[in-house]
Amino acid sequence: MPIALVDCNNFYVSCERVFNPRLEGKPVVVLSNNDGCAVARSNEAKALGVEMGQPWFQMQDLAKRHGIIALSSNYTLYGDLSARVMSILSDFSHNQEIYSIDECFLDLDGFDPNTLMDYGHKMRQTVRQSTGIPVCVGMADTKTLAKLANHCAKKGLAGSNGVCNFGSMDEQKLSTLFSGIPVGEVWGIGRRISAKLNEMGILTIQDLRSSDPEYIRQQFSVVVERTVKELNGIPCIELEDAVQPRQQIMVSRSFGNEVSQLADLSESISYYATLAAEKLRHDGSVASSLCIFVRTNPFKDDVPQYSRSMVVPLLRPTDDTLKLVHASLQGLKQVYRTGYGYKKSGVLLMGLQPKGTVQASLFDEPEDQAKSDSMMRVMDAINRKMGKGSVTVASSGVRTRWAMRREKKSPSYTTEWGELPVAF
Amino acid sequence: MNHPIPLEIYRPEIGILPVRLPLYGYKVPAGFPSPADDYIESRLSLDEHLIQHKDSTFFVRAKGNSMVGAGIFDGDILVVDKSLEPGFGDIVVAVVEGEFTVKYLARQGESVILKPANARYQDIILKDGQELQVWGVVTSTVKQFRR
């Protein structure tokens, strides 16, 4: 049963390039929250030796010398383009598993094996033209092999023009190919397992593939045994059904500057609860309880550390911003202690269920419910039209001393009317 | 998370606010159904009318007066579909020297040019080695007279 893994190339950088063609051909990195370290690199930046996860302050010299362009992460933009790419790819198969923001598996059962390479090229071409995002396609009989085929397509080790199908290669070609790739490139083989495999003399993918699965299970686990079987074309990892309903919604951020006042923390918590409530309503769900947390910076070991969370059950499952903010602030008051520099806070909504299925309780007032619903509808509509945060609860503040540092963020090209790309 | 965070269950105080209990929450609907019920259809949607391919359609703001002859004015919103194959005579958003420009896609002899719809602007003719990159095809514009 052929499976394809479609993966976007340097996804965050590619998103930025769609709307800023000047970035084409230049070394570009996208930085993590608070402009900390590199979370995406263009090929040009990789060639200059920028590592994944490298802190931005370490690259300053290199950046100056080679004109590396650093951008703050713009998750709103990446999320929108991801949804578009995934939706387009879903037309290519009856069964799609979205594996991460930039990759998905497609079930290609029933397709003529001889046409798969062309089909892969068509996927690539369609996504590229419709969204501007370049992707690579790897195809094989198991998920592990499809991942590997994708790696080979991306690195140009096999296949053609960013598409690689192991199903069209004979055993000799495959074993030659696998003999040249270190075992650590296999999906699910982390650094620790990889080191132990190397000690045992298993250096390449071909070595692992020809190992005795039984022996591997004794040495490691059933998980690694499965990997060996998958490398031999025996499917062990099922394609998971497309969209699992969300079990919880988390909104949390690190602060640009540490904050110590309850007032500042309250603003941030109110804001996160507001965002979480919007997501909740978008999903058509209600939350039965929520958890708030605050913590200091664990990387500063010379200052006093504090970290605390609290679960606040809700009397009745709700999607009302005001009720969720109120409950979050009650929780915050309980966990807040003076004398600490807080670095991060967050709100987690739990016990989600579809709004229609909520059991009525003894204390319900239907008119209140209707009033709350219509207020939330108006709030969402205004924020959609006038931009995020146009209407919000007053407790989330207007000064936002705690806001995340994102100095080099590109505009929200696809989600704010005021920030559309401009054509002359 | 790097450090385990101790969890604590917190119960809101019940009883601070008076609780009123509804005796009859809902009015029971009675009578005949509306005769219009059978004729209800969904309302017209501008999204559906203007957007043929939702995943490949983007909005771009027009700037300047180079396309006034085509009815595109400063500040108009262009509806741009990236999935369409551009043809001569189409209005396109193209990339020229790293910037977006909106023009007619036209032919001049052997070469492809970008043609403004305003006599005060010049055709954009690509120099040797420059490749014309069409970003998307403009399918409609949105012009607002009053907000």
CA A28 to CA A50: how far, in whole Å?
Answer: 10
B8/A22 touch (CB, cutoff 8 Å), yes or no: no
Give the SS3 label for residue B98.
coil
Best residue in B10, B61, B121, B134 for a mutation probing chain A (most A CBs within 10 Å): B10
Let me know the angle formed at the C-alpha of A271 by A19 and A387, rounded to the nearest 5 degrees.
40
Beta carbons of B13 and A328 less than 8 angstroms apart: no
Neighbour tally for A421: CB within 10 Å? 21
Contact indicator for A61, A69 with CB cutoff of 8 Å: no
The answer to whether the CB atoms of B7 and A315 lie below 8 A apart is no
Please tell me the distance from the alpha carbon of residue A212 to that of residue A76, in angstroms, as a whole number.
46
Find which of B2, B54, B56 to mutate to test the A interface (most A CBs within 10 Å of its CB): B56
**How far apart (Å, rounded) are the C-alpha atoms in residues A349 and A292?**
9
Region of A16 on the Ramachandran plot (φ > 0 left; ψ -120 to 50 alpha; else beta): alpha
Determine the Cα–Cα distance for residues A412 and A80; give it in Å rounded to an integer. 10
For chain B, report the end-to-end CA distance as a whole number of angstroms.
Answer: 47
Of A87, A305, A363, nearest to B55 by CB-CB distance is A87
Task: Look at the alpha carbons of A78, A83, A89, A95 in this order and tell me if their dihedral is positive or negative.
Answer: positive
Of all residues in chain B, what percent are helix, strand and coil, respectively (each to 5)? 10, 30, 60
Assess A330–B contact: CB distance below 8 Å, yes or no: yes
Give A-chain residues touching B11 at CB under 8 angstroms: 313
Interface contacts A/B by beta carbons within 8 Å: 113
- Examine the residue annotation and report whether B45 is marked as an active-site residue of this protein: no
State whether A21 and B93 contact (CB < 8 Å): no
Give the per-residue pLDDT at A99.
84
- Confirm if A130 and A88 have CB atoms less than 8 A apart: yes
CA distance A96 to A5: 10
CA distances A341 to A6, A303, A401, Å, are 43, 8, 13
Residue B16 in this model has a pLDDT that exceeds 60: no
Which residues in B lie closer than 8 A to residue A310 (C-beta atoms)?
7-10
Tell me the C-alpha distance between A18 and A82, whole Å: 13
Distance from C-alpha of A220 to C-alpha of A65, rounded to nearest angstrom: 46
Give the number of other Cβ atoms within 10 Å of residue A49's Cβ.
10
pLDDT, position A255: 82
Chain B residues within 8 A of A422 when measuring between CB atoms:
60-63, 100
Sign of the dihedral defined by the CA atoms of residues A199, A203, A207, A213, in that order = positive
Strands A28-31 and A69-72, by their bridges, are parallel
Residue B143: alpha-carbon gap to chain centroid: 13
Within 10 A of A10 (CB to CB), how many other CB atoms are there? 23
Asked if the C-beta of A87 comes within 8 angstroms of chain B's C-beta atoms, the answer is yes
Put simply, the answer to whether B5 touches A293 (Cβ < 8 Å) is yes
Determine the 3-state secondary structure of B130 from DSSP.
coil
Residue in B34, B63, B103, B115 annotated catalytic: B103
For the full predicted model, state whether its pTM sits above 0.80.
no
Range B43-48 average pLDDT? 86
pLDDT band at B87 (very low <50, low <70, confident <90, very high): very high
User: What would the two tokens of residue B69 be?
Assistant: 């002859």
* Tokens standing for residue B75: 């500040």
Among B42, B54, B56, B66, the active-site one is B66
Contact A422, B63 (CB under 8 A): yes
Which pLDDT does position B37 carry in this prediction?
60
Strands (E), chain B: 57-62, 77-81, 91-96, 99-108, 111-115, 124-125, 133-142
Tell me which H or E stretch contains A254: strand A249-259
H/E stretch holding A83? helix A75-90
| Residue B78, min C-alpha distance to chain A (Å) | 9
On the question of pLDDT at B129 being above 90, the answer is no
Q: What share of chain A is helix, strand, coil (3-state, %, to 5)?
A: 45, 20, 35
Q: Residue B34 catalytic?
A: no
Take residue B96 and report the two structure tokens written for it: 């020229």
Do the chains contact at B7 and A87, CB–CB below 8 Å?
no
Q: Report residues of chain A scoring pLDDT below 70.
A: 241-246, 358-367, 386-389, 395-406
> Of the candidates B94, B102, B99, which has an alpha carbon nearest to the alpha carbon of residue B78?
B102
Reading the block at residue A183, the tokens are 């075992």
